[in-house]
Chains A and B, each alone.
Chain A
Amino acid sequence: MIPVILAVAILIFTIMTFVPGNPASLILGADATEEQILIKEHELGLDQPYVIRLGNFLKQTFVDFDFGRSYWTNTSVTEELMARFPRTLAIAGFAMLFTVIIGIPLGIFTAIHEGTFADRIGVLLCVIGVSMPTFWLAMLFVLLFALKLKLLPAQGMDGAKYFVLPVVAQSLGGISGMVRTARAAMLEVVRADYVTTARSKGLSERKVIYEHALPNAMLPIISVLSGQLANQLGGALVIEQVFSIPGIGLYLINAVNTRDYPVAQSSVVFLSILFSLIVLLTDLGYAAVDPIIRAQFVQGGTKKKKRKEENG
């Protein structure tokens, strides 16, 4: 885990050094002299070789826990990130929560009632749900709920009701995706031989589904959770754009457009660390509660074993 995060930081830093355009001349404007640009470059430390800058960046980030200062506003990136990340996390986190607590039961429900009218409607709605771009859905919501019905605010961030539209828009895609995954996983399990055996020995349908089929269907469902989380985080960055929510997404995209290296690389490194931590925590949490996964960790692929060793 720690080597992975270090490697992520190095990778991001390296990619950022390839960004075209010189931040020094961008900051000073078009009519800066050659000399002024050189002085500014020296100030920003851009005249030093790549290895030294990389070393400084890593030391700053991982030893001093300081993400540096923005080239443009000279404000502390760490403070900005701390102020902004709760908003991004709230959108992604709530969307993820709804995805799990609504998506999984609904998926299992449709699988159990496969072929019925409700199942067909559910499947159709989910295909549409995963196909609509989240940011488009969000804009349609703004149009309907904010501009036409005037129920909820269209943009900004000033209290809980500002989160409603972004979170709902962000959740729908996730829920649809989760229903599809859970349904497919459940259908696969329901056709397995041991389910037929369980039925043939006269167990009640309830017992067959909840005690024999469901625990086994949970494995593929759990394995897509981290991918879902990555989607929700990425989606939150985009949806901030629609609602002008001052979260990490707006900060990052603005920084990318203005060549604000410290801001851009710190935001990405910060979110990646956050993402890896959450994935690790959920992995460990599930491993602790679920004996099936615990067994998988022990005998399963070398990848998971290695990861666990790295984490100590």
Chain B
Amino acid sequence: MADMKKEKRKGINQWQEVLNILLHNPNAIIGFVIVAVLIILAILAPWISPYNYLEMNLAIAKQGPSAAHIFGTDDLGRDILSRILYGGRYSMSLGFLSVGLGAIVAMVIGSIAGYFGGWVDNLLMRMMDVLSAIPGMLLSIIVAAALGTAYHDTVIAMAIGNVAALSRILRAQILSIREKEYVQAAKASNCSNFRIIFSHIIPNSVMPMIINCTSRLAAALLFCASLSFIGLGVQPPEPEWGAMLAGARGYIRTYPYMLISPGIFIALSVVGFTLLGDSLRDAMDPKLRK
């Protein structure tokens, strides 16, 4: 706290400092570049992909890499590079939306529980206990089964696994911040409740959640791939990376090449988000600063 005030007096705000730390951390830059490139590729997919991702041509099926098809073609003669580019749209957007949705629901639950306390808090947290008693994968499988495999259903199935943990984090933060000196100081200086909540409690309590969400994005991408792999996420012929691997599984003996590129892209995207999440966490944590 004291450090932060000193910095404020010097005219450097916390965000600039965090940004400064991130800019000097090679891991953060590598992570950012990987994520940025993958997102740009996904957004530009319709313009840069060399072929139609659904166009089949059995005459050129199961070809290795060549100048015409950089990543080769799959079992139905579709261009793997084009499918990877389009697949990125599914993987990335599902990751962002599911973590985002989970965070929004968690924010509502966590702040209600934190502010009201008492039986409301108790009831909500017991509900979260129930949710976290079911391993995440199982919960998503069963929700995906109940809702179906449409895009928004997959988002919900993936988001539900994030709700319990994130709402606990926010609630714990709000509980501890409610008692902080600066909140009491604000109260003593006759600050309105509204102002206390929105300018003191919320900004200080969502930070751990944002950091946690960045790491969760990495997990969400893996999760999305697993769900599609077992056939409960994005459905073929749509080219999600996990679903492409599920398709490649049948050809592991005859044409293993199909396995390689979707897996590399999943791993690459997860590496990007992991590095970004790690460096953000380190930058925000004053204890780890040297």
Binding site for B on A (CB under 8 A): 3-5, 7-8, 11-12, 15-16, 18-20, 127-128, 130-136, 139-140, 142-143, 147, 187-188, 191, 229-231, 233-235, 237-238, 241-242, 252-253, 256-257, 264-265, 268, 271-272, 275-276, 303, 307
CB of A7 within 8 A of CB of B130, answer yes
Interface check B208, CB cutoff 8 A: no
Residue of A nearest to B260 (CB): A140
- Is B230's CB within 8 Å of the partner chain A? yes
- State the majority secondary structure of interface residues on A: helix
Let me know if B270 and A131 touch, CB within 8 A: yes
Question: Smallest Cβ distance from B160 to chain A, in angstroms?
Answer: 10
B245 adjacent to A135 (CB under 8 Å)? yes
- Would you mind naming 18 contact pairs between A and B with Cβ atoms under 8 Å apart? A5-B133, A7-B126, A11-B134, A18-B147, A127-B271, A128-B267, A133-B270, A139-B249, A139-B252, A139-B259, A142-B252, A188-B287, A231-B136, A234-B137, A241-B229, A242-B249, A264-B142, A275-B135
Asked if B284 is an interface residue, CB under 8 A from chain A, the answer is no
Contact A19 B256 (CB under 8 A): no
Q: How far is the CB of A96 from chain B (nearest CB, A)?
A: 12
Q: Does B146 contact A (CB under 8 A)?
A: yes
| Residue B1 is within 8 A (CB to CB) of chain A in the complex | no
Nearest-CB residue, chain B, relative to A135 = B229
Residue of B nearest to A242 (CB): B249
State how many angstroms separate the Cβ of B3 from the closest Cβ of chain A.
15
Indicate whether A235 sits within 8 Å of B137 (C-beta atoms), given known contacts A136-B259, A187-B288. yes
Asked whether B222 is an interface residue with its Cβ less than 8 Å from the other chain, the reply is: yes
| Known pairs A18-B146, A136-B263; A191 contacts B287 (CB<8 A) | yes
B129 touches A271 (CB 8 A): no
Nearest residue (CB) in A for B175 is A301
Q: A135-B245, A147-B252 are in contact. Are A16 and B134 (CB under 8 A)?
A: no
Encoded as 1 (CB less than 8 Å from any A CB) or 0, chain B from 248 to 276 comes to 11001100100100110011101100110
Which residues in A have their C-beta under 8 angstroms from that of B138?
233-234, 237, 252, 268, 271-272
In the docked arrangement, what's the CA distance between A264 and B139, Å? 12
